Structure 1
Amino acid sequence: MGLLTASMGAASAAVALVLAADGVAAPALPGGLWWLAGLAVLFFLTEGFTVHVRVRRGAHGINVSEFPMVFGLLGFDPVTVILVRALAGGAGLVAVRGQRGTKLAFNVALLAVQACVGVLVFHAVTAHELGISAGGVGLRTVLGAYLAMIAADVVAAVLVTAVIAVHDDPGEWRRLPAALRSTGLVVATTTGALISFLAATEPQWAPALIGIVAVVLLLAYRAYIALGDGNAEVEQLYGFTRALDGARGIDELVAVVLDRARDVLRAGTAELVVAHGEELRHTRLTGQSGRPAVSLGSPGADAWLRPALLGSPVLRPAGPAGDAMAVPLVFGERRAVLVVADSLTDAGGFTEAKLRLLGALANHAGAALGRADLVDRLRREADEKQHLALHDPLSGLPNRRHFHDLLDAGLQAVRAGEPGLAVLVLDLDRFKEINDALGHETGDALLCEVGERLRAHLDGRGRVARFGGDEFAVLLPTDGSPEAGLAAAAELAGVVDQPIRIGPLVLAPRASVGVAVAPLHGDDPEILIRHADVAMYAAKESHGLRLYDSELDRNSPQRLALIADLRRAVERGELTVAYQPKVDPRTGRVVGAEALARWHHPEQGPIPPDVFIPLAEHSGLVWPLTLHVLDRALRSRAEWARAGHDLHVAVNLSPNSLLDAALPDLVARLLEATGNPARALTLEITESTILTDPAGSLATLERLHALGVEISIDDFGTGYSSLGRLRELPLHEVKIDKSFVQRVAADHRDRAVVRSAVQLGHALDLRVVAEGVEDADTYAYLAAEGCDVVQGYLLSRPLPAEEFTAWLHIHSRNVTHTFG
């Protein structure tokens, strides 16, 4: 701007000197110096009536300076017109509009340039014709006045557009045609000036004519400007909402809100102030950077914002801190304030009308920010759930499911020509002793440290995952040779074997490592993991490293074929569910049923659960199998309820199922889809399930408990820490293992165990279930001891759904007849 101002000033001075040297003159008007003083006053005053057409935070100025300019062209010499226009107009800019500094210098130079252009065009057209002749103002003089004023207006519009384009908005040149539309108003004001000049030269009519013309033009001018301002505000509000719709992400949206609010209200600063507890977080946009800055406010400086935070707009007049406006803005559950401050010199200060406009902007901004905030929160929640579904909650490492996906991608690369890869399964030796002796906190810290050591050692060369408990898996690209796999295993075992300090303790962990390499030992993720797992168990026997060998897995062809058949059966939903009734021994009423998976192989016939369940565990099929049983069991239970039997159904959970963070959400969806209440579902877990990962298991159990699902601990009495665990877990039921129940009528030691279990369960407000009841004496003893529920072959073997329904109908009728 400085260079342009200097150039404009130099050009104006050069034109004035040339005109003075040429001696171009005009006849003096009657009154001498009074006319000159009047001309200066008019130039001074017309700057007070300037109206600015807003362009972002710059403006194109429009005023009625054509009046004194026409008077000057017709009645004074050119040099006088240039000097008086620049000096008197500049005085008006200082006194009336308060301009200072570079902006004042630019506008004074602009006034001089306009005067020079007007003078040059006027005298070029009139060819030095006298301004006033015996017959009045001549035609060439009138035409010269019009062309001079239009040329001066066009030059001013171009120069102002150039300044705005350089310092505020490079796209301003596109708006130049709109700025030039003020030419029509220039013609009107020039016409009025010519009429006023003619009236002024006729003393008899001068006062009346000048007064009438001035009043009419002023009223029309103000009406035109008011209408234009109203339309401009509507357009600005529309543009504001369009800009919000185009923003992506809440940070980008905040920047757009501040930028547009600053432009619409013509302010130097805009900020969004958000309440965070007792602190206020300021996101401020100022200057030309276009990038908001974030800071925390101070209680003293932010005191004036408190009413806006409570819902009342605030208008702060100009003062030491500058003028400002603040309006409440609400998005989501956040309290915020939209603030604009430091109104630009040409804006005329902040008013109640502008405060209402800012409130309208805040309403639109609040709705847009609320939507963006909701989208951001949903995206974060989805990312967190996705992370939980694919990562171990204790160590943050990938879990079995994620490792499976990584391995599948690695095997695809091997099929595409990559050399090979190794899968290593590591298990910490004597980890259970550390857990039992030092507590689960120490055990968890040890697991986390081992996982971090493995991850840091791989340093991006491979991936480490935690499968649960003290078992880790590593995926490492190699040349595909067994030697490379064993070398990597020895290296990782050495990393784990380094002493670990946990608090005051120094632990010396050791790892047994099993190795399987692809493509030598398989090109399927499940098979490769299973082979590495088989090798790891062989390594534990020899306390070292083992490479997979088919001799370690003598039945591997048959087992692998069975795994493939099991996969197909699970995918096609061919496994069935049988139900074993659970009865109240005191009344004989059926209170529930346990759902048990059954598999009838098309060639081998029935496959026992103790055969195919471990296969599912080791091949990663236990999760879809569990979901299948859950779905079937809940649908059957819903049918029983519609038939008038309000039973609960129990489903067994494997350790891996309980470690899946998505289990509670899936259970909730299945309950809703089948129309069952949460209390109707009992999930049975074993003590070994919990010990695999106590922290992760407890977190999942608590979420299931919050749903209203009941939790039962199965095989109670066969573990090592059941009594301690009963106090910590959200249990509803304990299930006495059948090994204690089946001989209770004959063995006094088993009777003591069962009696203690019943008393302990009742003392802890738990339901006590006895399984494996196969004779009437055992049934009678359990009823006498106060056992709540029994199940076993004495009542019924597990039955398919249709047969169970028929059995339930008959049994219920018999019980009703007996006890009715």
Structure 2
Amino acid sequence: MDMTGTPDAERRAPWWRRPEARVGALSLSLGALTALVAGWLVIRHGTPTPDWPWLVALVALFAVTEGFVVHLRVRRGSHAMSVSEIPLVLALAHLDPVTLVLARVVGGAVGLFFVRGQRGLKLGFNVALWGVQSMVAALTFHALGGAGVPDSLQDWLAVYAAVLLADTVAAVLVTAAISLHDDPSEWRRLPLALRGEPFVLVTTTVAIISAIGVEQTPWTLVLLGVVSVILYLAYRALITQQQGHAQVDELYSFTRALDGSADTRSLIRVVLERARDQMRGAQAQLIVPQIDEHRPSRTRLSEQDRLVDTLLAIGPADQWWTPALTGAAVLRSSDSGGEGPRDGMAVPVPLADVTGVLLVTDSLPDIGGYTPEHLRLFEALANHASVALARAHLVDRLRREAEEKEHLALHDPLTGLPNRRHFLMLLEAALDAARHDDNGPAVLLLDLDRFKEVNDALGHDTGDAVLREVAARLQQAVADQGQVARLGGDEFAVLLRRVRTVVEAVELGSALARELERPVQRGPLSLNARASIGIAVAPIHGDDPQTLLGRADVAMYAAKATHTGLRVYLPEDDKNTPDRLALITDLRDAIDRRELLVVFQPKLDPHTGQVTGAEALARWHHPTHGNIPPDQFIPLAEHSGLIRPLTLHVLEVALRRCAAWRRNGHDLHVAVNLSPNSLLDPTLPEVVSRLLQQTNVPPSGLTLELTETSIMTNPVAAKEVLDQLHALGVRLSIDDFGTGYSSLGRLRELPIHEVKIDKSFVLRIAVDHRDRAVVRSAVQLGHALGLDVVAEGVEDQDTYGYLVREGCNILQGYFISRPMPPDEFAGWLAGHSAPNVIRGRFTA
């Protein structure tokens, strides 16, 4: 940008897009038209012989009248009104058309150059304008029969018509020039430019009288000069008064325009347009220091009414207005010199917590430069603008805050994706759009497998980076087919708006799974982000958002449980049926009423034949459904949050029975199973300690059995609870040993006393050499770690004998005894004698 504020792009634009070039082309066209008409007249009527005294006198009069000009302001342009009609009427009476044009052009050019100081493009346009105007007047006058001094009614009417038509043509051409240079809408203001026609009639009447008087005596010119000056002064006073009233009206309209602006951007345009037009400047700018997150900026209204924004960079040419930043109004006069605009005004504009600057530069010629009066009016405009801009800034900030809050309420802050609430809204809209269409939406629910291990091992920063990468991949893969959302944690959802078949949804789900299987690079690490995906399609699997999302969730958990990676919703997978919910309610009531039965299965030391203890097992006899297996109601308890009261019930009953055995002389321990959630309960050690004290059972009389999976779910929290239980003296056992995923290093660090080989390996050791190998390895590993080894599922004599030979410490199973109710177990225990142990064969 150059120092005048004209963008380089405007200077490099094609000529027909540059305002100066368009006005120049208009000027050349007008001049050429005048020359052609003059040439045609010369060819038709011959070369005229001018009346030299009148030619010289009229050239002088045309030049002098340019010093008596009244400007009619129309927006940013102005129409000059002078008393040039008087010499024009005299010229019509005494000169031929060609000589008249010559006198008007030469006299006007001299007056503009020396009296009004015009130069360049504006001078050229005005000279061309007067050529056309005078030619129109001459041709009209002669066409209507006018000739010589207008001493008849016909001549008077010809003069009035010629002058009025010439001034109308001039007003149209001036409007055209302003339209080409500044604003195409200038044509709407053409009627305002014709407000000077009454003045034209007055000056024309004076001119007719003067032309008649000059015929009698040349001294009439003296009276003509006096009358012309008086008319000029009177009309100028009238125009000045009208413009004063117009300034008040414009200030009022300015405030109304500010109130009508809808946003800050349109408000800035109004401020700059009105400031530039009312202060008669070529350019207006608003300088705004940094507000909130917005950097300092300069907004300029170009001469073509375009808003141009640039970052604020104060240079030497800008130093003149910088005092306005501290609250001082600045008036730059045309004789200031130095770099920058010819003249200008800058006033402070308070905006929120900073002070901006409103400035106008390069006053238009009709006001003759900026004065202190202009500066006071400009300050009044700026005060109104300041209030409106500050209010608009506050409204914009409140709107942004509201939009940000709404965005946060509907989007996930980590990935920027829609959250659960927003996803349900999108799903509902998609369902509404497909009410009368067979191609309904589909929901794909994705849950990352073993993502918690990433967070635990590498930290949440790495976990967040993985989640962001997963979000980006899903968005890229889905593209415009649907919408991706993050529902929380490591759970994502994909909405496909229109799906023709379930197969189509499955194909996209498979593509998403493949996309997620690509390693995620995190520094030197290469991480895998596999997912389990559940699919539900409307209307097959549901026709409302909650149902569809819930069934996609059921399918996802089924995919995770079966390790299939992807699964479409099946009714048999859905455990949240009304019957299941009713069963949960019945289970809660049974626990509260202590209706669950606790049975005991003996545990035997095969090397001594002595019963060392028993495992406590819960049994539920439903009044309607009869006996419900543990593998049905235990998962119900875990899923519904009933596992804690169920565990405490079994633990309390088991310890009280163990206390009774010990009082009857049986030094036995009792084993109780703990659910995975129990190890996440920090109050468990305290509860166990209290029950041991209440029942008077020594800590060594209680064995708590835990699965490998429950420990590995959250090793840190689990180890903390296990350490506290170990400190109490309670025995700890790893149940279902061999089916989990624990490492030897992790087992070695845990404070456990025994391992219990899962019965799935024990049941077939008599016929399957692979199961025998697993059992043998488990026994050897347990002994190597200094642990007792327990085998459950002993159901025949061959299995019993094999386990004895392998060195198992404790055996449990139907071959020894089935689980028995407490009283039956007490009777069995009283009648039990040490069995014979001969070559690994057991006989009761």
Which TM-score tier does this pair reach, normalised by the shorter chain? Answer: 0.5 to 0.7
Match for 1:189: what amino acid? T
Amino acid at match of 1:309: L
Residues paired across the two proteins, number:
582
**SS, match of residue 398 in structure 1:** coil
Is the counterpart of residue 84 in structure 1 residue 103 in structure 2? Answer: yes
What's the counterpart of residue 186 of structure 1?
200
Asked if structure 2 preserves the Cα contact closer than 8 Å seen for 1:424 and 1:475, the reply is yes
User: Following TM superposition, by how much is the alpha carbon of 1:37 offset from its aligned partner in structure 2, in angstroms?
Assistant: 4.8
Of residues 408, 417, 430, the one that matches 1:388 is: 408
Q: How far does residue 453 in structure 1 lie from its aligned partner after superposition?
A: 1.8
Q: Does 1:2 align with 2:27?
A: yes
- Give CA deviations for 1:127-172 in whole Å, capped at 9, x if unaligned: 54557xxxxx666665555444333323322332333344444444
Query: Which whole-Å deviations, capped at 9, do the CAs of 1:549-606 have from their partners, x for residues lacking one?
Result: 333344513357999xxxxxxxxxxxxxxxxxxxxxxxxxxxxxxxxxxxxxxxxxxx
SS of structure 2 residue aligned to 1:302: helix
| Structure 2 match to 1:454 | 474
Counterpart contact for 1:266–1:344, Cα < 8 Å:
yes
**Aligned equivalent of 2:233:** 219
Q: Structure 2: which amino acid aligns with 1:9?
A: T
**Equivalent residue number for residue 490 of structure 2:** 470
Q: CA RMSD in A?
A: 4.2
**Cα distance in 2 for residues equivalent to 1:358 and 1:612:** 79
Query: Secondary structure at the residue paired with 1:516?
Result: strand
Matched, 1:443 2:463: yes
- Alignment partner of 2:289: what SS? strand
**Cα distance in 2, alignment partners of residues 120 and 489 from structure 1:** 86
Q: Which residue of 2 aligns with 1:779?
A: none
The whole-number CA distance in structure 2 between the counterparts of 1:529 and 1:78 is 91
Moved more, 141-150 or 200-209: 200-209
| Superposed CA offset, 1:678-729 (max 9, x none) | xxxxxxxxxxxxxxxxxxxxxxxxxxxxxxxxxxxxxxx988799xxxxxxx
**Distance of aligned partners of 1:466 and 1:114 in 2 relative to their CA distance in 1, 3 Å threshold:** closer
Per the alignment, residue 328 of structure 2 pairs with: 312
Q: Report the alpha carbon displacement of residue 614 of structure 1 after superposing the two structures with TM.
A: 7.9
Distance 1:245 1:612 in 2: 66
Q: Which amino acid aligns with 2:310?
A: V
Displacement of 1:363: 3.1
Matched residue SS, 2:494: strand
* Structure 2 CA distance for partners of 1:299 and 1:73, relative to 1, 3 Å: closer
Aligned to 2:297: 281
Contact 2:473 / 2:516 at 8 angstroms: preserved in 1?
Answer: yes
- Tell me the CA shift for residue 223 of structure 1: 0.9
**How many Å separate the matches in 2 of 1:310 and 1:169?**
35
Q: Distance in 2 between matches of 1:207 and 1:422?
A: 97
The code of the aligned residue for 1:220 comes to: A
1:267 aligns with 2:287: no
| C-alpha distance in structure 1 between counterparts of 2:244 and 2:350, whole Å | 27
Residues 736-788 of structure 1: per-residue CA shift (max 9 Å, x gap): 998489769869999xxxxxxxxxxxxxxxxxxxxxxxxxxxxxxxxxxxxxx
SS of the residue corresponding to residue 52 of structure 1 reads: strand
Partner amino acid, structure 2, of 1:460: D
Matching residue within 168, 174, 189 for 1:175 = 189
Query: SS at 2:202's partner residue?
Result: helix
- 2:66 is matched by which residue type in structure 1? E
- Structure 1, unaligned runs of 5 or more: 27-31, 132-136, 564-609, 617-716, 723-734, 751-820
Alignment of 1:771-782 (within 5 A): none
Q: Distance in 1 between matches of 2:223 and 2:583?
A: 111
The within-5 A match list for 1:204-603 is 209=223, 212-276=226-290, 280-288=296-304, 290-318=306-334, 319=337, 320-321=339-340, 322-476=342-496, 484-545=504-565, 546-554=567-575, 556-558=577-579
Which structure 2 residues correspond to residues 76-115 of structure 1 after superposition, within 5 A?
A: 79-115=98-134
Tell me whether 383-392 or 247-256 shows the greater mean CA deviation: 247-256
Q: Given the superposition, is the C-alpha separation of residues 455 and 117 from structure 1 closer, same or farther in structure 2, using an over 3 Å criterion?
A: closer
Matches of 1:397 and 1:389, distance apart in 2: 11
Give the C-alpha shift of residue 63 in structure 1.
0.6
Cα distance change of structure 1 residues 45 and 415 upon mapping to structure 2, 3 Å threshold: same
**Residues 1:94 and 1:338: Cα distance change in structure 2 (over 3 Å):** same
Q: Tell me: CA distance 1:15–1:434, structure 2 relative to 1, closer, same or farther (3 Å).
A: same
Could you say if the C-alpha distance between residues 80 and 408 of structure 1 is closer, same or farther in structure 2, counting changes exceeding 3 Å?
Answer: closer
Shift of 1:462: 2.9
In 2: Cα distance, 1:212 partner to 1:298 partner: 54
CA–CA separation in structure 1 for the residues paired with 2:312 and 2:243 = 36
Q: Per-residue deviation at 1:36?
A: 5.6
SS across alignment from 2:172: helix
In structure 1, what is the equivalent of residue 790 of structure 2? none
- Maintained 8 Å contact 2:555/2:568: yes
SS at match of 2:445: strand
Tell me the distance in 2 between the aligned counterparts of 1:748 and 1:464: 58
CA contact (8 A) 1:424 1:474 kept: yes
Amino acid at match of 1:249: D
CA deviation vs aligned residue, 1:466-525 (integer Å, no higher than 9, x gap): 222222223335757665555444433332222211123222233233333433333332
SS at match of 1:98: coil
Paired with 1:219 and 1:614, the residues of 2 have a C-alpha distance of 99
Write the distance in 1 (CA, Å) between the matches of 2:227 and 2:203: 10
Contact 1:480/1:518, CA 8 A, preserved across alignment: no
Task: Please give the alpha-carbon distance, in whole angstroms, between the structure 2 residues aligned to 1:144 and 1:488.
Answer: 88
Shift of 1:426: 2.4
Q: Is the 8 A contact 2:92 2:148 kept in 1?
A: no
For residues 517 and 391 of structure 1, what CA distance do their matches in structure 2 show? 24
- Check if 1:52 corresponds to 2:66: no
Q: Which has the larger radius of gyration?
A: 2
Structure-1 separation of matches of 2:48 and 2:367: 42
User: Unpaired runs of 5+ in structure 2?
Assistant: 1-25, 585-634, 642-676, 699-844
In the other structure, the counterpart of 2:704 is none
- 1:115 & 1:8 partners in 2: Cα distance? 12
User: Structure 2: which amino acid aligns with 1:502?
Assistant: R
SS in 1 for 2:437: coil
Alignment check: 8 A CA contact 1:199 1:210 kept: no
Residue matched to 2:623: none
- Give the % identical residues: 49
Q: What is the rounded CA distance, in whole Å, between the counterparts of 1:303 and 1:737 in structure 2?
A: 77
TM-score norm. by structure 2 comes to 0.61
User: Counterparts in 2 of 1:673-752, with a 5 A limit?
Assistant: 739=687
Partners in 2 of 1:67 and 1:509 — Cα distance?
A: 94
Give TM-score, length-normalised by structure 1: 0.62
Q: Give the C-alpha shift of residue 226 in structure 1.
A: 0.8
Q: Distance in 1 between matches of 2:383 and 2:365?
A: 27
Tell me how far apart the structure 1 counterparts of residues 310 and 134 of structure 2 sit (CA, whole Å): 47
Give the conservation status (yes or no) of the 8 Å contact 2:69–2:81: yes
Q: Secondary structure at the residue paired with 2:67?
A: helix
User: Any conservation in 2 of the 1:279–1:297 contact (CA below 8 Å)?
Assistant: no
- SS in structure 2 at match of 1:473: strand
